[in-house]
């Protein structure tokens, strides 16, 4: 479940308010690249700076615009189990296809605490759940043996793996049939080779079509073609993480006319030199042109 290329959506703001018109434009911009899914209100979507009402509105717009074209998995994780259940139940009521839960941050739970957290949320909702392992943001790495325990729950069906370790992905896949999705754009092809089923991508805002083509080439046995696409996208991938995500990708989307280059504090726009660098790499890749 949730296989293929999905995009970890940014959240458009204007004058510190949710910019609904730009969100519609962004969703269509991404869907026109042929991606399989949308994952709003995660880290890339500045979820920690959103109210619950704003999250609900984002989910409603994504569902309306993506109907029949892509699945919608809502980022519903917080740093406490009770509030994660509250947000996940709200997403379920809106009608999302699934919930993505980041490991509780700041608290730094033990592996036993991680298991208890995810199981409690999975017991409280009826939607399938995607675990999100991103130790660089949370301070806690979900170990492979912990993932195997989580996979025993019928509603925990996928994991977005952003530990940066292909070894960890391999260990998970050696002991479970849970759907593993790359959470690191630069490692998508190596993770596919290990048995991952797709990616939750930041790069997909700009290169969804190319990432899809890379996966299709790999699964068709055209490994050289897939590797060539991987290498062509690599400079753009790296540039998007030259500052804290989502600063660079928002700057480029603003350059393309999709949204305003606005974030919520404590995040501020990317440095001018970063924006120029990413735009130059994007133009050299000849992937997208600004909206008219």
Catalytic residue among 132, 197, 212, 250: 132
Cβ-based neighbour number of residue 259 at 10 Å: 21
Give the SS3 label for residue 109.
coil
User: Which among 209, 224, 271 is positioned nearest to 243, based on CA atoms?
Assistant: 271
Cα–Cα distance, 130 to 3 (Å, whole number): 11
Catalytic residue among 56, 105, 118, 160: 160
With a CB cutoff of 8 Å and minimum separation 6, the contacts of 219 are: 192
Active site residue 160: yes
Instruction: Determine whether the annotation assigns residue 44 to a binding site.
Output: yes
Instruction: Determine whether the annotation assigns residue 249 to a binding site.
Output: no
Contact between residue 157 and residue 179 where contact means Cβ atoms under 8 Å apart:
yes
Active site residue 132: yes
Interior/surface letters 193-225, b for 16+ CB within 10 angstroms, e for the rest:
ebebbbbbbbbbbbbbbbbbbbbebbeeeeeee
User: Which among 106, 100, 217, 214 is positioned nearest to 161, based on CA atoms?
Assistant: 100
Contact between residue 122 and residue 156 where contact means Cβ atoms under 8 Å apart:
yes
Cβ-based neighbour number of residue 28 at 10 Å: 13
Catalytic residues: 132, 160
Annotated binding residues for pyruvate: 44, 200
């Amino acid at each position: 479940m949730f296989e293929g290329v999905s995009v970890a959506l940014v959240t458009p703001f204007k004058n510190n308010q949710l910019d609904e018109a730009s969100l519609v434009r962004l969703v269509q911009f991404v869907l026109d690249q042929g991606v399989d899914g949308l994952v709003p209100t995660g880290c890339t979507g500045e979820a920690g700076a959103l109210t619950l009402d704003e999250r609900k509105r984002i989910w409603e717009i994504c569902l309306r615009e993506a109907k029949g074209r892509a699945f919608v998995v809502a980022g519903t994780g917080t740093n406490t189990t009770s509030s994660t259940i509250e947000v996940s139940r709200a997403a379920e009521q809106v009608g999302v296809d699934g919930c993505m839960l980041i490991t509780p941050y700041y608290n730094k739970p033990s592996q036993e605490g991680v298991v208890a957290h995810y199981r409690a949320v999975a017991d409280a909702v009826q939607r399938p759940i995607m675990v999100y392992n991103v130790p660089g943001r949370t301070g806690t790495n979900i170990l492979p043996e912990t993932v195997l325990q989580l996979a025993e729950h019928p509603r925990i069906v996928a994991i977005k793996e952003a530990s940066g370790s292909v070894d960890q992905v391999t260990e998970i896949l050696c002991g479970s049939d849970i759907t593993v999705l790359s959470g690191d754009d630069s490692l998508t092809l190596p993770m596919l080779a290990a048995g991952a089923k797709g990616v939750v991508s930041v790069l997909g805002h700009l290169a969804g079509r190319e990432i899809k083509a890379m996966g299709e080439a790999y699964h068709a046995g055209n490994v050289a073609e897939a590797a060539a696409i991987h290498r062509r996208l690599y400079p753009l991938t790296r540039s998007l993480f030259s500052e804290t995500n989502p600063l660079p990708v928002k700057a480029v989307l603003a350059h393309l006319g999709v949204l305003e280059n606005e974030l919520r504090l404590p995040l501020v726009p990317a440095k001018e030199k970063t924006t120029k660098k990413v735009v130059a790499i994007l133009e050299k890749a000849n992937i997208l042109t600004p909206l008219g």
